[in-house]
A and B are shown apart, each in its own frame.
Chain A
Amino acid sequence: MSDKAKSIASKKTSSQDERLKEVSKLRLLLNRPELGAVGGAILVFIFFGIVAGDTGMFSAYGTLNFLDVSANLGIIAIAAAMLMIGGEFDLSIGSMIGFAGICIAIPAIYWGWPLWISIIFAFAMAVLVGYFNGILVVRTGLPSFIVTLAMLFILRGATLAITRLITGRTQVPGLRVLIENDPIAWMFATDTFKWLFTWLGSMNLIALRTDGTPLATGIPPSVIWFIAATLFATWILMKTRYGNWIFASGGDKNGATNVGVPVGRVKISLFIGTAVAATIFATIQVLDAGSADTMRGNLKELEAIAAAVVGGCLLTGGYGSAIGAAFGALIFGTVSMGIFYTDVDTDWFKVFLGAMMLIAVVFNNYIRKRVTESK
């Protein structure tokens, strides 16, 4: 072979290799489950940047506001997403939020328990409820949709009945005074990075109150929990053996069982995960509001599932991501708050939510076909 021919040949192969790599990278990106949610979030930010850019929505105060709403939803959406990847649903998340709230408030206010023990009690109840959901689904083989729908009614009803029986009302106020000096409550009730906001305020970079303190006082605890939950869930799904078992359990229950994956235990632990996430949500809200309300968390389970679906989770299980669910929650939180800054009537929010979900499901279906059928 002449030198010239050689050089042409080598050029050809190297250029081919380069192209192959590029294509596969693009394909890799296109095949990621969170692609739709990330793209959607970018579109949402561009939209509000244009429509509401000068209204204060993106000021420090406004930003923390929509981040707080997104984060609260995100905490339960991530747990719901992991459960969906594992092949099951939990419709009792919203009821669990109300139930966990009174599990904290009634012992603390009426029984005189220290607040931290009440919080631990609520989490213990969450583990029980999650375990019960899980064991019922695994043992009976019934669809989790039905089992947890029953739990939705049972928990909400029990919350209402127990609260009225003990307190004679449906709300339990008076928690705020208990937060101070509590060894655990600060984890759910403290704004962080206060120094940063004080400094930004002193530099006149963010809006101040009339007394000179900044309007936005710090990062709310929900945001910290949200970020931690996203990182933790992603680490589990992508980097651990348990994560692989979650995908396997949702992807093909029988196949997974045949190669030794403890499918039952995986699913039960995921149900415990959604109940615990609901309790984190409840604790943050109860301590923030200083009161528990029996109707807290109503319909939150559907928002969580919607966020997970927008984030790329398949309803049939075995596919999805925690980052996707986080972005799904960010989309909903941003729109639900951002709509106040526009001239659009807030009634339209639910229309948007539904439309977003439909688009996401169609898109995800297309992605799944790409992943499984292309060669």
Chain B
Amino acid sequence: MSENLIEFNNISKFFGKVIALKDVTMKLKKGEIMCLLGDNGAGKSTLIKTLAGVHKPDEGEIVIEGKKTVFDSPKDALDMGIGTVYQDLALVPLMSVTRNFFMGREPLKGPPFLKTFDIEKANQIAAERMGQIGIDVRDPSQAVGTMSGGERQCLAISRAIYFGAKVLVLDEPTSALGVHQASMVLKYVVKAASQGLAVILITHNVHHAYPVGNSFTVLNRGKSLGTFNKKDISREELLGMMAGGEELDKLEVELEEMNRLNS
């Protein structure tokens, strides 16, 4: 299938005089994982919020399944199948797995005006969904606070998929995790993509991005440095392109210079 599931064409966003994003273009197919790389201040957060419908782009267009679309609110984006998982995950540690899973979108039962939260059904679905990822929820009424960081991340992703996300936008899903937990999350992301979702993975960690990504878009100071297929670019080249890569090169040169002078 060659048609793009989602396209962001020449998106720009200005805050007063500040150019937060300029002419950013991204195209994703079903089953594709695109990693969005960039250092702090590169415009990643602004781009995420534009994807999620929080900000409206000042220039450019969003095209979903061939149709030009404008998001008026985060709910709009959600309804169009853009599932955003923020860094804070939107999970409440004191609430149960089930209550978190269905937060804001609780299944109801009963007669009109006396509809109640169908907690049995919710428990069953939550346990089933978590089981599919390989997380054994002994008791779906246990508090989310008892879960590990990776499990929470997977819960948040699983929730977005359950509620109809076709495009998953993941904001730094591995940044707070150890190696084991991060690989658990990345494995799940690959699995989700293999089931036909498009995934935009936002990260500043090339080592986490490179193994799972099909393509890579590098942001630097609000501008896209281009999108590269995996076969066209190496891990080191990617690292070099992110802001800081140049700095690191410079640092290396300077250190060599110092060594030469000292010897």
Contacts and interface: CB of A to CB of B under 8 A. Distances in A.
A258 B102 CA distance: 13
A168 B244 CA distance: 77
A371 B145 contact: yes
Nearest to A248: B103
Interface in A51-82: none
Given A244-B99, A260-B75, A318 B94 contact: yes
B138 interface: yes
B50 to A, nearest CB: 15
A210 B61 CA distance: 88
A251 B147 CA distance: 16
**B92, B106, B117, B119: residue with the most chain A Cβ atoms closer than 10 Å:** B92
A28 B96 CA distance: 12
Nearest to B145: A372
A258 B90 contact: yes
Contacts of B69: none
Contacts of A368: 94
A28 B141 CA distance: 9
Interface in B71-117: 74-75, 78, 84, 86, 88-95, 99, 102-106, 108, 115-117
B89 A255 contact: yes
A239 B115 CA distance: 9
B94 A244 contact: no
Contacts of A375: 146-148
A241 interface: yes
Contacts of B86: 258
A259 B103 CA distance: 7
Interface string A311-327: 00010001100000000
Contact of A239 (B88, B102, B116): B116
B139 interface: yes
A109 interface: no
B90 A373 contact: no
Contacts of A371: 94, 143, 145-146
B103 A256 contact: yes
B161 to A, nearest CB: 14
**A245, A247, A256, A259: residue with the most chain B Cβ atoms closer than 10 Å:** A259
Given A251-B92, A255-B88, A239 B117 contact: yes
A256 B92 contact: yes
Contacts of B116: 239-240
A260 B78 contact: yes
Contact of A255 (B75, B92, B146, B148): B92
Tell me the interface secondary structure of chain A in the complex.
Answer: helix
B153 to A, nearest CB: 14
Interface string A349-375: 000000000000000000010011111
A254 interface: yes
Contact of A260 (B92, B104, B108, B146): B104
A244 B139 contact: no
Interface residues of A, number: 29
B74 A251 contact: no
Interface string A226-249: 000000000000011101110110
A191 interface: no
Contacts of B138: 24
Given A260-B78, A261-B103, A372-B143, A252 B92 contact: yes
B74 to A, nearest CB: 7
A361 to B, nearest CB: 16
A372 B117 contact: no
Contacts of B141: 28
A330 B200 CA distance: 54
A260 B94 contact: no
A243 B119 CA distance: 12
**B86, B95, B99: residue with the most chain A Cβ atoms closer than 10 Å:** B95
B104 A259 contact: yes
A248 B146 contact: no
A244 B106 contact: yes
Contacts of A239: 116-117, 119
A373 B143 CA distance: 9
B72 to A, nearest CB: 14
Contacts of A243: 117
A31 B96 CA distance: 12
B260 to A, nearest CB: 53
Given A239-B117, A241-B106, A244-B103, A374 B94 contact: no
Given A248-B95, A248-B104, A256 B90 contact: yes
Interface of A: 24, 28, 31, 239-241, 243-245, 247-248, 251-252, 254-256, 258-261, 314, 318-319, 368, 371-375
Given A240-B116, A375-B148, 19 more contacts: A24-B138, A24-B139, A31-B143, A240-B117, A244-B117, A247-B92, A252-B90, A252-B91, A255-B91, A256-B103, A256-B104, A258-B84, A259-B90, A260-B74, A319-B94, A372-B93, A372-B94, A373-B145, A374-B146
18 contacts: A28-B141, A241-B108, A241-B115, A251-B95, A252-B90, A252-B91, A252-B92, A252-B93, A254-B90, A255-B88, A255-B89, A255-B103, A258-B90, A259-B103, A259-B104, A368-B94, A372-B143, A375-B148
CB-based closest 8 A-B pairs: A372-B145, A251-B92, A255-B90, A260-B104, A259-B104, A241-B106, A258-B90, A261-B104
